[in-house]
Structure 1
């Protein structure tokens, strides 16, 4: 919870936002994980405010409280990992699919995690019994049609049986029905995103997690799941606020890495990792690499996800060895 206190006006200007944000800098720096620099977090927050001026109409306490919650989860409010949503004068921080998957990947026990939706007409089987497995053939001619199911799969580093979660559209609709935005917003505009979020949220509760250490990767994941749960109640009551799904512009990824439009194209992440000569340089690239890993996993490109993961691990190992006396 944020300890922010201010005499700021109810409606902030961009300049006042910058001045008030400086008051929570020590708290944000304390909460952020090592792989997310404060400079990156601040750039993305500023970008989010510039892209959605309605955030400045929210109460300062709720707006800066949402920033603190994002830092505590170790996620960027970039519309991919999470989003700060203005609603009735209050700013609400909500983790998103990519954010939950990122937190799961960062935990010590999970090797990979993915979530997909099944469109009507696609070949799909969920086989139970002694050899449980999911068989799904993506049919691009069916993409964008009616969603009939969603599923998520997590593979553990110990090589044990993958953890699977499958939900029918009827089950997903039970979640949708208790959302205040069930007929508009994300459920209307991005039903596939919301279906993936619903199933991966349920799967996350079955993952091995230890919350003994404060602000560990596992504790951050648990906290993010609880935050999502607070927005979507499964006991038949409506949530306090809708679950968001925001299409993030490319500028967020550029802002996160300090890149402006005028700078043009940057080298590929593989090239940047190979060119890195210090551990700090690798750490600065780490978050962008993990975002690409999450996107590749969502798109079913496990080869790319594994190649990026291996390249990041190799860069960490190489720079650490070079800097170790």
Structure 2
């Protein structure tokens, strides 16, 4: 804890944030103060390695997201790393974070919501897609009553695109997350509806060629070494550096072989087969973990 406090109060750390977001010293200090406040909301984050705390802050700064936000752009939680035998601070970008980046980078407005039982929902597809959601403020809005999630993207041209996922499809994504992380992440435990919205937003982005930059950021979210190894080009703005990194990621993705093992592919294929066959997915209820939603 003392090491983390020393890190967050160091001039070197503040300077790194200032350079990454091209901020004034005063604004960089505000960023650090807000990030420190977000970390202190969860005492378990104070048990994380200082390096992971530093990388989490750098990741936020590089993506252009803020640590304290009324739009809930990110989640912070801790995860045990068997390699270094220590907890590490992990950032989970929420659907509102992707929506913010889509607007900043592509001029695209994204909305998303969840449909519950006892609510009216209708979607008609044709030359023009019509989606209607009649919200019932008295409906039971618990996880078990979720029926579907949907996302809407309004492109700069005015064209509107929709994506819908059923509860079963959302559960498949949740199960894949469990298999990838070896357990259910705190975000799925504490913020199921937000993760459902994130799932459908990510699927919508992947289907739109206009949002290639956002698709690249979705992949960057899982890169754990990028923010540690990339040097900072202080002659460029934060937005320019992020754009350069996105272009590099797109180029490397097109030329590199898929980074997935046969075992991982078999696991993913099995999960999708369960969905296609309509099998019931058993809910997983691991031990509760603390998670901070950045408000």
TM-based fold match above 0.5: yes
Q: Which structure 2 segments of 5+ residues have no match?
A: 81-86, 225-259, 272-289
Structure 1 pair 183–95 and aligned structure 2 pair: CA distance change class (3 A):
closer
What corresponds to 1:165 in structure 2? 163
Q: Provide the C-alpha distance between the structure 2 equivalents of 1:124 and 1:210, rounded to a whole number of angstroms.
A: 27
Structure 2 residue aligned with 1:82: 74
1:167 Cα offset (Å) = 0.6
Matched, 1:68 2:66: no
Matches within 5 A, 1:169-208: 169-180=167-178, 185-208=186-209
For residue 16 of structure 1, the aligned residue among 2, 6, 30 is: 6
Which residue is equivalent to 1:117? 114
Alignment deviations for residues 205-226 of structure 1 (CA, whole Å, 9 cap, x no partner) = 2345577xxxxxx4xx445412
Q: Name the count of aligned residue pairs.
A: 223
CA contact (8 A) 2:77 2:292 kept: no
Partner of 2:17: 28
Q: TM-score, normalised by structure 2?
A: 0.64
Counterpart of 1:134 (choices 111, 127, 131) is 131
Give the corresponding residue for 1:45: 35
Tell me the TM-score normalised to structure 1 length: 0.59
CA contact (8 A) 1:85 1:92 kept: yes
Root mean square deviation, CA, Å: 3.3
Residue-by-residue CA offset, 1:60-83 (whole Å, 9 max, x unaligned): 211101111111111123372113
Residue in structure 1 matched with residue 238 of structure 2 by the alignment: none
Change (3 A) 1:39 1:16: closer
Q: Is the 8 A contact 1:77 1:83 kept in 2?
A: no
Change in CA separation of 1:127 and 1:223 when aligned onto 2, cut-off 3 Å: same
| Whole-Å separation in 2 of the counterparts to 1:73 and 1:40 | 17
2:218 aligned to which of 213, 219, 225: 225
Secondary structure, in 3 states, of the residue corresponding to 2:38? helix
Q: Secondary structure at the match of 1:179?
A: helix
**Deviation at 1:45?**
0.8
**Separation (CA, whole Å) in 2 of partners of 1:29 and 1:12:** 23
Q: Unaligned 5+ residue runs, structure 1?
A: 1-10, 212-217, 239-243, 250-325
